[in-house]
Structure 1
Amino acid sequence: MGILSNKCTTSDLDALVTGTESGDFWQRGYGGPMLLSDRDLVSEIKAGTLGLEPFEPTLVQPSSIDVRLDRLFRVFNNHLYTHIDPAMQQDDLTSVVEVPDGEPFVLHPGEFVLASTLEVISLGDQLAGRLEGKSSLGRLGLLTHSTAGFIDPGFSGHVTLELSNVANLPITLWPGMKIGQLCIFRLSSPAEHPYGSVVYGSRYQGQRGPTPSRAWQHWRTWPTR
């Protein structure tokens, strides 16, 4: 039966894929979505469909590319607001801090700051990405992404990092250090409307440095009853 159990047939699974003829789902094989290996990552970079600038070849891993920490951080101005409201524009909620040459940024226990990758990352319309933390840093209590690790096809810009220290000691963050690993996936087909398309009003396309939340733009809620 291969990967199918005795309770699930090929026809049953084909029926879940709308708009395809019977068996087409399986015939795609390795032409379908997949995580790219080191050789495929390099091929995409050479083809211009995946961009990292600056690119350091020694950072390519078996199925990811290590990315580095930039020198800019956004800290929260707790004394200016009584609360955070994602529906409101709060321009002074954060301030940019630039770390001097040769010095680290100290992230204290329980603190949360925004940072960004050193690399500008650009994805073609058939590639999507996930930015994962480094195991060695996670074992020290550093969370690289509180929630938003997904990168849409078509995105171009620095990736904003959501850094949290869940340890009970301060953690020093050195500009230029390895901060995460970028995994790239090939989509089953090119996105019809990649990130940055007018139809989406993409709020973070082309972002430079750690970029604060723009949730208030195009804000809406849906009925819950």
Structure 2
Amino acid sequence: MILSGLEIEKRMGKDIIIEPFDKKALNPNSYNLKLHNEMLVYEEHNLDMKKKNEAKLIEIPEDGLWLEPGKLYLGRTHEYTETLNCVPMLEGRSSVGRLGLFIHVTAGFGDVGFKGYWTLEIHCVQPVKIYPYVEVCQIYYHTICGDYIEYKSGKYQNNSGIQPSMLYKDFQ
């Protein structure tokens, strides 16, 4: 089952941590998360799964940044989250999707026990201007049934910022 917005609020500080938390971002069954003011872009056009692909940090200015089609941008949520005893899920907001902006290409399925910022895989179908700290996605939570092992992966757990792919570590 998906938690209601009221249940998310009730579990805040216990099973669910969202920092900073703003009650105005609470929806009937989700919570809106904001885009931080920094993004990563890969330096090479051709990416190799077996190697660390270098990326450069760009800042989203207050007056906005134009995104180009055919390019992958890695952003992150402004909010730090922790989730226990339920499964976090992330989706782009429909208002953003209606501009042809894909906020989370894949991996919207979180793990019980995840702690950190969500890296957002962003791309657009036509040029679109984005702004820092705009609500671009929403987190929602499923209950979990049965015993489970809490997520503790060293690759992405307890991150402090945008995480490029670390798939290359699986080949080592």
| TM-score bin, normalised by smaller chain | over 0.9
Partners of 2:65 and 2:50 lie apart in 1 by: 30
- Counterpart AA for 2:73: V
Q: Which residue of 2 aligns with 1:16?
A: none
Pairing partner for 1:77 from 34, 43, 56: 43
* Cα distance between partner residues in 1 of 2:32 and 2:130: 16
Matched, 1:157 2:110: no
1:203 aligns with 2:169: no
Contact 1:195 1:202 in 2 (8 A): no
Give the Cα–Cα distance (whole angstroms) in 2 for the partners of residues 122 and 105 of structure 1.
Answer: 29
In the TM superposition, 1:17-96 aligns within 5 A as 34-46=1-13, 48-78=14-44, 83-90=46-53, 92=54, 94-96=55-57
Which protein has the larger Cα radius of gyration, Structure 1 or Structure 2? 1
Counterpart among 95, 98, 104 of residue 136 in structure 1? 95
Structure 1 residue ranges without an equivalent (≥5): 1-33, 221-225
Contact 1:89-1:216 at 8 Å conserved across structures: yes
CA apart distance, 1:62: 0.4
Q: How many residues align?
A: 172
Structure 1 residues 190 and 57, CA gap change in structure 2 (3 angstroms)? farther
Give the SS at the match of 1:216.
Answer: helix
Distance across 1 between alignment mates of 2:160 and 2:108: 17
Residue 150 of structure 1: how far off its partner (Å): 1.0
Aligned counterparts of 1:111 and 1:105: Cα–Cα separation in 2: 14
**Which of 118, 121, 141 does residue 78 from structure 2 map onto?**
118
- The alignment partner of 1:41 has SS state of helix
Deviation by residue 1:170-199 (Cα, 9 ceiling, x = unmatched): 2111111011011111101352x2111xxx
Poorly superposed stretches of 4+, deviation over 6 Å: none
Structure 2 residue runs without a partner (length 5+): none
**Identity score, percent:** 30
1:10-39 Cα deviation digits (max 9, x unpaired) = xxxxxxxxxxxxxxxxxxxxxxxx100011
Q: In the alignment, residue 154 of structure 1 is paired with which amino acid?
A: G
- Where relative contact order (Cα < 8 A, 6+ residues apart) is larger, the structure is 2
Contact 1:131-1:181 within 8 A present in 2 as well: yes
**d(CA) in 1 for partners of 2:134 and 2:60?**
13
* TM-score of the pair, normalised by structure 1: 0.72
Query: Quick check: 1:179 aligned with 2:131?
Result: no
C-alpha displacement at 1:219, in angstroms?
2.5
- C-alpha change, 1:172 and 1:98, in structure 2 (3 Å) is same
- Residue in structure 2 matched with residue 218 of structure 1 by the alignment: 170
